[in-house]
Amino acid sequence: MISSTSGEPIYSQIVGQIRQMILQGELVSGTPLPSIRQLAKELQISVITSKRAYEELEREGLINSVVGKGSFVSGADPEFIREQRLRVMEGRLKEVIDESRLLGMEYDELAEMLKLLYEEEA
């Protein structure tokens, strides 16, 4: 499901959804994905948007593109992918910690804030 009215860019919605499907095992390693142009047609989005989504997925190591053959879900196992994503998350959290230090926040305050936000989202 792609929404053009939600604030999130279309390409990142696609990345998010495909990533989800791979992590949850709905798309297994080696599954062929529609070509960039097919995907664009099916979702009624631009070719460049769909290309960008694939590029992003490739960078994350989730898919492999073979010239002339198309794109496939990569052989990386879900555990490894999860690891990768956790590392990305760690990086972001570090940024948050740095920011909180600049503002002179204590750990408890930060934890409280995180907790509040987490509950709010759920």
Residues of this chain that interact with another protein (CB under 8 A) are 4, 7, 9, 11, 37-38, 40-41, 44-49, 52
Min separation Cβ 79 and another protein, Å: 33
Closest alpha carbon to 50 in 79, 88, 9: 9
Nearer to another protein, 27 or 40 (CB): 40
Region of residue 44 (left: phi > 0; alpha: psi -120 to 50; beta: else): left
Nearer to another protein, 35 or 84 (CB): 35
Min separation Cβ 90 and another protein, Å: 26
Nearer to another protein, 22 or 33 (CB): 33
Min separation Cβ 48 and another protein, Å: 4
Nearer to another protein, 9 or 78 (CB): 9
Min separation Cβ 99 and another protein, Å: 15
